[in-house]
Structure 1
Amino acid sequence: MPQRFERKVALVTGGGSGIGAAIAHRLAAEGAAVMISGRTEKRLTETASDMPATRTATFVANVASRRECDALVAATVARFGRLDTLVNAAGMNLVGTIEGTSDEQWDDCLSSDLSGVFYMSRAAVPHLIASKGSIVNIGSVSSLGGGWNHAAYNAAKGGVANLTRSIACDLGKFGVRANTVAPGLTVTEMVDAIMEDEALLEKAWERVPLRRAGQPEEIAATVAFLASEEATWITGIVLPVDGGQTCTDGGPEWGK
């Protein structure tokens, strides 16, 4: 595997499982020192267990907390001396229409999926300016076309897409890039209920030309490209990685 991140430092939130864990493994495999963050120490330890010990660290943090985000970035720089890549992969899914979503659910989803990206990115900015680094956010195809029964989640991911564009515009003059990867249906614990519903999947495949769900490793490969020096002329984009879903005539309708 190419060593595109040798002597580089990456920070991955939501790294205890799913897409975040796959990203942490991919960046480490390409030579990066990686700080992995999540809310559960056990999961972080499991993710880090087969990564190079001298280039891997873990930090328990909830990205919905500004103070914990600040502490996480500070710990990363203290441990590895710099920060080149921030990957905001932490987040939650929330099923529910607008009338079926409580105030508490709305606040939890927006805090996890949108405010966390803001807090982490703001804390990382001085270090990314110093390294001329980049931010890669994990969004969703729902930010490109909406979808049924995910009011808060769709709103949050739409916010991530526009926040990414704002960061790209504001920080481009410093050589800092920001991009969003927008996965379609991807095999993780977050979508286990969908993957077990054969009738729903059959309906879903009508809107996915490749007729399958994505794998976390496929999202990780895209993140690695956008974070690498092969993508130095790319900033401010929202890149669908969705098996072709967004080229069809409709968006996601999981749970309709």
Structure 2
Amino acid sequence: MTGRTAIVTGAARGIGLATTKLFLAEGVSVAMVDRDVPALEEAALEEAARNLGDVLALPYDISRPHAVAAMIADTRARFGRIDYLVNNAGVADFGPLERTDFERWRAVMATNLDGVFLCSQAATPELKKTGGCIVNVASISGLRASTLRVAYGTSKAAVIHLTRQQAAELGEYGIRVNCVAPGPVRTKLAAAVHTREIVDAYHDAIPLNRYGSEEEIANVIVFLCSDKASYVTGQMIAADGGFEATGVGLPALRAARLDET
């Protein structure tokens, strides 16, 4: 992957920052894109990018078309090419259906869905030149319905289908498009908002009995960008410890022991 360039949105923290570091370790230059709004005690974009190496920090809001156009132009001007686009930026706004007004709904869709569309569309001419690829980051919430996720879950389900639409249309140009749907991930934000009861419930429901790490999700993203995945497109990979595979089965049954007869 040496000599190639990636754009990673939502790169100031979490999965985006972990993906950036893994790309850099593989010899890939990275345009790190984020709105540069610190969350809790996490580092903002400039701080995250400091001392990382061959990166370009771009404080753009990917829900705005003019900002996306500038993102592409700045990346091309700095690195001369674009090989990979990782659409990771997203907002996690959870709330009941009756309390999700249209403004709240649109705020989620603007970043989680519109941003993926805008960035992919804008990057396509450059990806045609390099035979590059796109990885969209959805969520297990796009596969499994849950309470409080009417906007978030719907936006991520749409990203999964958008991935397939993109793969079907862009394949003739040699552009691969895939999607990663993370399950519960061990982040600072999760640690701040997930109570012990929630953590224990997730552990019970996940076959691997634990949260994933940011690095584990990044490994899947970078693999899908690599030549090792050269015949993989239009796919959704749930990096979730088996959470989606268990459906709505009762975790308590896992501990049941049936007498052999």
Residue-by-residue CA offset, 1:44-92 (whole Å, 9 max, x unaligned): 222222321xx21111100111110111011101110000000011001
Alpha-carbon distance in structure 1 between the residues aligned to 2:186 and 2:111: 20
- Residues 97 and 150 of structure 2 are in contact (CA less than 8 Å); yes or no, is this contact kept in structure 1? yes
> Which position in structure 1 is the counterpart of 2:16?
20
> Which position in structure 2 is the counterpart of 1:83?
82
> Which position in structure 1 is the counterpart of 2:66?
67
Secondary structure of the corresponding residue to residue 206 of structure 1: helix
Superposition RMSD in Å: 1.4
- Residues 19 and 215 of structure 2 are in contact (CA less than 8 Å); yes or no, is this contact kept in structure 1? yes
Which gives a bigger RCO, structure 1 or 2 (Cα 8 Å, sep 6+)? 1
Asked whether 1:39 is paired with 2:35, we answer yes
How many residues are aligned here? 244
> Which position in structure 2 is the counterpart of 1:226?
224
- Residues 194 and 200 of structure 1 are in contact (CA less than 8 Å); yes or no, is this contact kept in structure 2? no
Instruction: Calculate the TM-score normalised by the size of structure 2.
Output: 0.90
Alpha-carbon distance in structure 1 between the residues aligned to 2:196 and 2:79: 46
Gaps of 5+ in 1: 252-256
Deviating beyond 3 angstroms after TM superposition, the runs of 4 or more aligned structure 1 residues are 192-195
> Which position in structure 2 is the counterpart of 1:171?
170
Secondary structure of the corresponding residue to residue 169 of structure 1: helix
> Which position in structure 1 is the counterpart of 2:4?
8
Alpha-carbon distance in structure 1 between the residues aligned to 2:26 and 2:95: 39
Alpha-carbon distance in structure 2 between the residues aligned to 1:96 and 1:193: 17
Gaps of 5+ in 2: 38-42, 250-261
Alpha-carbon distance in structure 2 between the residues aligned to 1:190 and 1:101: 21
Alpha-carbon distance in structure 2 between the residues aligned to 1:182 and 1:230: 20
**What is the letter of the counterpart of residue 234 of structure 1?**
V
Alpha-carbon distance in structure 2 between the residues aligned to 1:249 and 1:228: 31
The structural deviation recorded for 1:190 is 3.8
Alpha-carbon distance in structure 1 between the residues aligned to 2:224 and 2:47: 26
Secondary structure of the corresponding residue to residue 181 of structure 1: strand
